[in-house]
C-alpha cells in the first residue's frame, strides 16, 4: 500500500476566500453567518453562511452566465489547490492522469430553480438551453477536469452532508491502492436559493435567526441551540502518492492516513451513535492508530438538538474516558453547514489546526447542553504544540457516515 500525502489546498468559504484567510478567521473565531438579502417579503428573516466574493474578479460575464455558481466556486478552489501544490511540476504526467473526485449534495440547484420559475411562474417562458448541463451534479467535476486538464477518472459523490468527505476518502483509496498517482478531491455547494431554504425550513431543522446578533445564530453543543445554518462554499485538496510528491519536489503539507465509511441503516434522518462509532473506529483502524493518538477532532456538530448529543455519545464510545480530554470543536459555528462540501471544508479546518498549531473554537457556546459534556474549545481558539493526528467527522442524512484522519508529515519537503 502506498502512502498518500496532501500537497495543495484550495478553499472558498463564508469566512475566507483562500487558505490563509480561512485559517486566520478560524483562529480569530470569526463568523461568516449573516442575514440574507433580497428575501421575499412573505418570508421571515433568514440567516446563512454566504461567500461574499465578486465573481467578476475571476470570470467574464459570459462565463458567469454559462456556469452555475456551484461550478464557479469549485473552479476557484481547484485553481488555488493546484497553484499551492507547486503548479509547474504538476504538469504531465501526474496531472495529466489525475483523477477528479468531488462531492455535492444538490449540484447546480440555482440553475434548476431558475428554470422552474421560468416555466411555471412566467407562462412557459423558454428555459435556457444549458439548464441541464448547468444543473447536473457532476458539472463541477467536469469543469474542474477540463480547466486543469485531468484525464483520470472523474467521479461525483452525492451522499448529503458526507459527500465531499467520501470523495476525499475514495480518492485516497484509489491512490493508496495504485490506481492513480494524483487526484483533486473535495466538494462544492451553492444552495442558498429561496426554494431550497423553504424545503429545509419545512423540515424544521434550520436555526431560528438570532436577530440581536445574526452572526451567532449557529450554536453547536449549546443548551439554547435551535438548528443548523445553511452555507455555501468549496474546498478542494491535491492528493498524491508520497513517491509522486517526492519526484517533483512538491510541498508535503500533511499525510492523509485514515478513512472510514459506514452506514447507520436505521433511519433516513435520525443519526445513530453506533453507526458513527463504527465509522470513527474504521478510520482509526485504517490509519493504524489508537484513539489516544488523536489530538483534535473536528466534529460534524450541526447544532441540531438530536445530532449534537448523538455525536457526543459516539465520541465517548470510541475514546472512552479519554474523550473528556480530547479537544473537539464544530467550525460550523463560524462558516455554517456547507452540506455536500462541508466534509471537505471541515477537513481543511482540521489541517489548518495541525499545520498552524491551534485548536479552532466552537463559538457561541455560552452555556453547554449538560448532555454535551466534552471539551468543545468554547468561544476562543487555543494555541497547541505538536498535533500529530487530527480527525474530521461527516455524518449525513441517509445514514452515510465518513471519517478522515490526517497526520503530520514526518519529513516535510
pLDDT averaged over every residue in the chain: 95
Q: Is 389 a catalytic residue?
A: no
Active-site position among 143, 300, 335, 389: 300
In the DSSP assignment, the letter for residue 320 is: G
Q: Is residue 117 over pLDDT 90?
A: no
Please state whether beta strands 296-298 and 328-329 pair in parallel, antiparallel, or not at all (unpaired). parallel
Report the helix count and the strand count for the chain, using DSSP H and E. 13, 14
pLDDT surpassing 80 at residue 113:
yes
pLDDT for position 127 = 86
Kind of pairing, strands 233-241 and 254-263? unpaired
Q: Give 373's pLDDT tier (boundaries 50, 70, 90).
A: very high
Q: Is 337 a catalytic residue?
A: yes
In our burial notation (b when 16+ CB lie closer than 10 A, e otherwise), range 161-184 reads bbbbbbbbbbbbbbbbeeebbbbb
pLDDT at 412 over 50: no
With bands split at pLDDT 50, 70 and 90, how would you rate the model's confidence at 126? confident
Whether residue 85 contacts residue 168, with contact meaning beta carbons closer than 8 Å, is answered with no
Which one is predicted more confidently, 124 or 257? 257
Please report the pLDDT score of residue 96 as a whole number.
73
Please tell me the distance from the alpha carbon of residue 292 to that of residue 278, in angstroms, as a whole number: 17
Q: What is the 3-state secondary structure (H, E, C) of 47-92?
A: EEECCCCCHHHCCCHHHHHHCCHHHHHHHHHHHHHHHHCCHHHHCC
What sign results for the dihedral spanned by CA atoms 85, 336, 46, 128?
Answer: positive
Catalytic one among 17, 143, 337, 389? 337
CA separation for the pair 307, 309 (Å, rounded): 6
Domains of the chain in start order, with CATH, are: 4-247 (3.40.47.10), 257-407 (3.40.47.10)
Residue 211 pLDDT > 60: yes
Counting residues of the chain whose pLDDT is more than 70, the rounded percentage is 97
pLDDT digits (tens, 9 = 90+) for 29-84: 999 999 999 877 778 899 999 999 999 999 999 889 999 999 999 999 999 999 99
Residue pLDDT, tens place only, 382-397:
999 989 999 999 999 9
pLDDT digits (tens, 9 = 90+) for 6-33: 999 999 999 999 999 999 999 999 999 9
SS3 3: coil
DSSP letters, 249-296, are T----EEEEEEEEEE--S-SSS--HHHHHHHHHHHHHHHT--GGG--E
Q: Find the mean pLDDT for residues 255-264.
A: 98
Contact 250, 406 (CB under 8 A): no
- Asked if the bond preceding 93 is cis, omega within 30° of 0, the reply is yes
* Confidence (pLDDT) at 44: 86
Residues 6+ apart with CB under 8 A from 79: 10, 147, 148
Amino acid at each position: 500500500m502506498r502512502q498518500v500525502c496532501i500537497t495543495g489546498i484550495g478553499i472558498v468559504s463564508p469566512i475566507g476566500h483562500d487558505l490563509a484567510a480561512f485559517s486566520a478567521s478560524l483562529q480569530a473565531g470569526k463568523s461568516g453567518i449573516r442575514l440574507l438579502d433580497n428575501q421575499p417579503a412573505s418570508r421571515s428573516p433568514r440567516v446563512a453562511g454566504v461567500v461574499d466574493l465578486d465573481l467578476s474578479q475571476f470570470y467574464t460575464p459570459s462565463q458567469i452566465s454559462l456556469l452555475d455558481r456551484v461550478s464557479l466556486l469549485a473552479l476557484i478552489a481547484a485553481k488555488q489547490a493546484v497553484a499551492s501544490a507547486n503548479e509547474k511540476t504538476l504538469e504531465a504526467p501526474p496531472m495529466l492522469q489525475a483523477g477528479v473526485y468531488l462531492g455535492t449534495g444538490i449540484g447546480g440547484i440555482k440553475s434548476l430553480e431558475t428554470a422552474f420559475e421560468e416555466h411555471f411562474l412566467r407562462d412557459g417562458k423558454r428555459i435556457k438551453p444549458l439548464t441541464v448541463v448547468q444543473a447536473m451534479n457532476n458539472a463541477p467535476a467536469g469543469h474542474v477536469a477540463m480547466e486543469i486538464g485531468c484525464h483520470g477518472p472523474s467521479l461525483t459523490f452525492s451522499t448529503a452532508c458526507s459527500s465531499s468527505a467520501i470523495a476525499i476518502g475514495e480518492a485516497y483509496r484509489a491512490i493508496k491502492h495504485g490506481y492513480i498517482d494524483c487526484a483533486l478531491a473535495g466538494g462544492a455547494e451553492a444552495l442558498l436559493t429561496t426554494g431550497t431554504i423553504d424545503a429545509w425550513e419545512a423540515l424544521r431543522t434550520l436555526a431560528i435567526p438570532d436577530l440581536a446578533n445574526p452572526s451567532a445564530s449557529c450554536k453547536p453543543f449549546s443548551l439554547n441551540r435551535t438548528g443548523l445554518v445553511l452555507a455555501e462554499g468549496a474546498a478542494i485538496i491535491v492528493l498524491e502518492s508520497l513517491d509522486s510528491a517526492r519526484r517533483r519536489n512538491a510541498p508535503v503539507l500533511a499525510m492523509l492516513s485514515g478513512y472510514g465509511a459506514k452506514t447507520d441503516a436505521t433511519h433516513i434522518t435520525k443519526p445513530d451513535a453506533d453507526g458513527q462509532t463504527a465509522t470513527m473506529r474504521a478510520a482509526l483502524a485504517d490509519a493504524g492508530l489508537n484513539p489516544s493518538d488523536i489530538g483534535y477532532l473536528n466534529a460534524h456538530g450541526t447544532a441540531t438538538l438530536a445530532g449534537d448529543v448523538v455525536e457526543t455519545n459516539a465520541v465517548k464510545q470510541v475514546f472512552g474516558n479519554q474523550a473528556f480530554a480530547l479537544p473537539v470543536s464544530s467550525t460550523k459555528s463560524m462558516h455554517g453547514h456547507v452540506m455536500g462540501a462541508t466534509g471537505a471544508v471541515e477537513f481543511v479546518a482540521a489541517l489548518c489546526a495541525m499545520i498552524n498549531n491551534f485548536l479552532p473554537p466552537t463559538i457561541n457556546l455560552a452555556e453547554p447542553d449538560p448532555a454535551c459534556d466534552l471539551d468543545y474549545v468554547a468561544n476562543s481558539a487555543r494555541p497547541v504544540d505538536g498535533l500529530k493526528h487530527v480527525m474530521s467527522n461527516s455524518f449525513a442524512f441517509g445514514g452515510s457516515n465518513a471519517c478522515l484522519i490526517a497526520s503530520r508529515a514526518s519529513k516535510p519537503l
